[in-house]
């Protein structure tokens, strides 16, 4: 693995809410890791950022992956290339439900959870890190099922299908925690506990660690149910571009009021009836920053570092010692913005000039068809890449 020097950086958006902007004009990468800042060491690959910003690769906090880079729900082939080119370097699975024929029942649920965890531990479609370790709770599961899942690599469970009783829901939560797994719930549109009187009562029974697509996917929960989770429990939440965008803004404003943006992650809920939203996380950052008081550097954190910390992923921040999962981003040609952060605040996703995962330049590739991006995403400052 070669070394990389990125120099002439305009701004570093760190992905860390505690210090979202770093004072660094260069980064040195080796062994796939950020080794030094503000250095000019010799490297195998030199990238002149020409004043562009550097930020962590985006993480889609709410995704439903299939295997490899095919998705049968929307018959999408090769969609992960579009994700990667849009700056997404991580996809968090919120449940593998898309197997054709949708096998149901405890055994199938455990098998699919383990399959997803172990497949994506070895395969990176288009170079993207897919965190596939999620299992959907099936009615009738017992603690032995949870134990087998955890031993097979499952780290999250998701309530998506209704379970019949409050007792079973509470048991599943307890078993998950006993085996070190986080509890996610689908929010909105569906009562997840059969004997609960309402969708909201079911959420109160489960009390998830992560309220998944709290702005709906696609149907939003009642606002009082979403507010209850944020006011009365310590849960983290993800909000998705495929959900209700008005409620997403209310959730951002509520958590800003609490001073607790560290509870909020951005995702897409792909695939949705709208398809695979390859650029959805970047669009969502820009939408939220342009329609609320959210700072663009904070929006970056919700799409990177907060998600990594919440789900225990070793990525998501620009910091010495961390894996070099990075983007070089700028304003787009033809807009008034001067840099990537201004572009986000203006409501536009930044132009992605380069994508780096584990210190390797994935995009642009060495032989890139010229003009490919014309009219779509031309960076105002295009990085100059020198391979030795
Ligand atoms: Zn979902």
Give tens-digit pLDDT for 116-147.
999 999 999 999 999 999 999 999 999 999 99
Closest residue by Cα to residue 160 from 114, 127, 201, 208: 208
Ligand 1 centroid to Cα of residue 267, in Å, is 9
Ligand 1 centroid to Cα of residue 187, in Å, is 9
Ligand 1 centroid to Cα of residue 79, in Å, is 18
Domains and CATH numbers, the chain: 4-56+317-387 (2.30.40.10), 58-311 (3.20.20.140)
pLDDT at residue number 375: 46
Residues with Cβ < 8 Å from 12, sequence gap 6 or more? 21, 22, 23, 24, 27, 37, 53, 54, 55, 318
Ligand 1 centroid to Cα of residue 64, in Å, is 6
Ligand 1 centroid to Cα of residue 212, in Å, is 7
Ligand 1 centroid to Cα of residue 217, in Å, is 6
Q: How many CA atoms lie within 13 A of 233 on its CB side?
A: 17
Calculate the average pLDDT of the chain.
Answer: 94
Ligand 1 centroid to Cα of residue 213, in Å, is 7
Ligand 1 centroid to Cα of residue 97, in Å, is 9
Ligand 1 centroid to Cα of residue 94, in Å, is 6
Give tens-digit pLDDT for 240-271.
999 999 999 999 999 999 999 999 999 999 99
The list of the chain residues with pLDDT below 50 reads 374-375
pLDDT at residue number 74: 87
pLDDT at residue number 387: 81
Ligand 1 centroid to Cα of residue 223, in Å, is 18
User: Exposed (0-12), middle (13-18) or buried (19+): which is 229, by Cβ within 10 Å?
Assistant: buried
pLDDT at residue number 293: 98
């Amino acid at each position: 693995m070669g070394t990389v020097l990125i120099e002439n950086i305009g701004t570093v958006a760190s992905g860390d809410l505690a210090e979202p902007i770093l004072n660094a004009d260069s980064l040195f990468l080796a062994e796939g890791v950020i080794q030094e800042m503000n250095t000019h060491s010799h490297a195998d690959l030199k990238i002149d950022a020409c004043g562009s910003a550097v930020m962590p690769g985006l993480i889609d906090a709410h995704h439903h992956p299939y295997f490899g880079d095919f998705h049968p729900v929307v018959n999408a082939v090769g969609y992960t290339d579009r994700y990667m080119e849009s700056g997404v370097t991580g996809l968090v699975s919120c449940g593998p439900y898309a197997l054709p024929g949708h096998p149901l029942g405890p055994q199938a649920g455990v098998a699919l959870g383990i399959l997803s965890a172990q497949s994506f531990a070895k395969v990176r479609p288009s170079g993207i890190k897919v965190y596939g370790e999620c299992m959907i709770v099936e009615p009738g599961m017992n603690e032995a099922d949870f134990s087998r899942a955890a031993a097979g690599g499952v780290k999250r469970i998701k309530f998506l299908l209704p379970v019949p009783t409050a007792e079973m829901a509470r048991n599943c939560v307890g078993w998950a925690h006993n085996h070190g797994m986080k509890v996610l719930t689908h929010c909105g549109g569906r009562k997840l506990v059969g004997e609960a009187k309402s969708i909201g009562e079911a959420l109160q029974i489960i009390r998830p660690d992560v309220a998944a697509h709290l702005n709906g996917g696609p149907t939003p929960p009642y606002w009082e149910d979403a507010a209850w989770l944020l006011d009365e429990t310590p849960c983290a939440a993800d909000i998705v571009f495929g959900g209700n965008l008005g409620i997403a803004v209310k959730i951002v404003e509520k958590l800003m009021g609490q001073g607790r943006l560290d509870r909020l992650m951005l995702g897409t809920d792909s695939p949705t009836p709208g398809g695979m939203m390859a650029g959805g996380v970047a669009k969502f950052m820009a939408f939220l920053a342009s329609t609320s008081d959210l700072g663009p550097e904070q929006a970056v954190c919700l799409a990177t570092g907060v998600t990594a910390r919440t789900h225990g992923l070793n990525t998501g921040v620009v910091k010495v010692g961390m894996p070099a999962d990075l983007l070089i981003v700028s304003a787009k040609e033809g807009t008034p913005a001067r840099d990537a952060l201004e572009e986000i605040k203006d409501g536009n996703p930044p132009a992605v000039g380069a994508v780096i995962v584990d210190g390797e330049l994935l995009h642009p590739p060495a032989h890139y068809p010229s003009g490919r991006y014309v009219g779509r995403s031309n960076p105002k400052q295009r990085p100059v890449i020198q391979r030795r």
